[in-house]
Amino acid sequence: MVSTTFEPILVHENELASTSAIFPYDDLRYEHVDVHDPSVVRYGSEYLMFATSGHEFVPLWISKDLKDWKFVGPIQEARPEWLDKAVPQHNSIWAPAPFVIGKKLRVYYCASQKFGSNTSFIGMIENDQFDSSKPTKGWVDKGKLIESEAGKDTFNAIDPDVFADKEGRQWMVYGSYWGGLYQIELDPESGLVKKGAKWFHIASNTGDRGNPLEAPCVRYHGGYYYLYVSYGLAAQGVRSTYRLMVGRSKTSDGPFLGFDGKPMTEGGHTDVLKSSPPMFAPGGGNMFQDKNGEWYFAYHYYDGSRNWHGDVWGRPTLQIRKVVWGSDGWPLPGLPASIELVKSKTKGVSGKWLFQADFLDPAETSFEPNGTMTQGKLKGSYRVDGNSLILSWPRADAPDQPWIDRLTLDETQQFAVGRNQSGVVVRGIKVDAKVRKL
């Protein structure tokens, strides 16, 4: 692989900061939004973001454009009485997840008696008509939905997320470790667990010791329900191992399958986003649509350029990234939401690019007008078909079976992302690409 230097342009200087990433803009961050487990939803003309708290009850940020975020504070001064009894130590409220029905706003949340224990609880608070000018008014706590007990249950009642399927049925996905992730049907009228509903297993991480996975989120697109999960460990700064994975199903209750067709209950998955320093361990968020119907990932990553606490480097910080849908329907990581590439006066893809496979060290690649490309001593070919960029690389172990990267080009033809036939994510950006200051 041939290394190169890329100096990204600082954009939106009052709110965003960028240093130097091995792949451009992976380190783009909101300067004053250091969060864990962000979940974003569009409510009217605004975007609401909820995140894990320290000890307050469900902190809220509001934005009109996904660029500037205003911290509002906790939506309630006091925690619900039932939660104080269940978790008297005032531990953190984890991973609140918003769900909108008309003007009604529901926020599902969770807490554990102590970190590392699966004595945990999922609750819900509801607002019939949320008013961002009075963010603490109108909330009614609906109590406990699900609980798990250490030494008794094989699941952990944390990290809830709710979605509605095409038939109008509502579901909650939740859990981590202790046997994996689970799903249960809700009553759409009350938002609580449907009478007689039974939880069922939907995903496990069989490749890591201890089955670490959490933060499930299901969304529908293009005929499939996509189950997003975070594999690995969080809350350890740059030593965290979070990475964002996905599987999909034709039906809302699974089975969800990975890229290779393996069920997620057996460890099947498809890579979406991994560490790309100084962006370490991205995950723990949700997927949402903007006012134009475009899809985005909201998640935290650990910023390796900043100290978090003590000798732990990697401060948790918000990132929102555009979703690119591949020609095969699988979601891919686009550029951060706060930047746009400026169209080049030179048409076509020829020129120098920076390519990265599987989020490892990028390599500079030269695209010639005749359809050939060079990466160090490696030579291949490419072609453009509409908005698809198809790369062919020779393999020493299988000369007749080259690596084929099928990428989706953005409208400026200066950024592309896709996968090879093994499902490995491949990203590329033109070395001379410029961004628009938003």
- Which residues are known to be catalytic? 37, 214
CA distances from 306 to 20, 277, 278 (A): 13, 12, 9
Reduced to 3 states (helix: H, G, I; strand: E, B; else coil), residue 432 is: coil
Cα–Cα distance between 179 and 372 in angstroms, integer? 49
Kindly list the strands in the beta sheet with 243-249, ordered across the sheet, starting from the edge strand earlier in the chain: 213-221, 224-231, 243-249, 270-273
Reduced to 3 states (helix: H, G, I; strand: E, B; else coil), residue 83 is: helix
Q: What is the SS3 string spanning 92-152?
A: CCEEEEEEEECCEEEEEEEEECCCCCCCEEEEEEEECCCCCCCCCCCEEEEEEEEEECCCC
Kindly list the strands in the beta sheet with 331-336, ordered across the sheet, starting from the edge strand earlier in the chain: 279-289, 295-309, 312-325, 331-336
Q: 272 with 245: CB under 8 angstroms? A: yes
Reduced to 3 states (helix: H, G, I; strand: E, B; else coil), residue 368 is: coil
Query: Would you call 362 exposed, middle or buried from its count of C-beta atoms within 10 A (0-12, 13-18, 19+)?
Result: buried
CA distances from 221 to 199, 227, 250, 329 (A): 24, 11, 10, 8
Q: 183 with 172: CB under 8 angstroms? A: yes
Reduced to 3 states (helix: H, G, I; strand: E, B; else coil), residue 314 is: strand
Reduced to 3 states (helix: H, G, I; strand: E, B; else coil), residue 186 is: strand
DSSP string, 230-275: EES--SSGGG---EEEEEEESSTT---B-TTS-BGGGT--EEEE--
Cα–Cα distance between 176 and 233 in angstroms, integer? 11
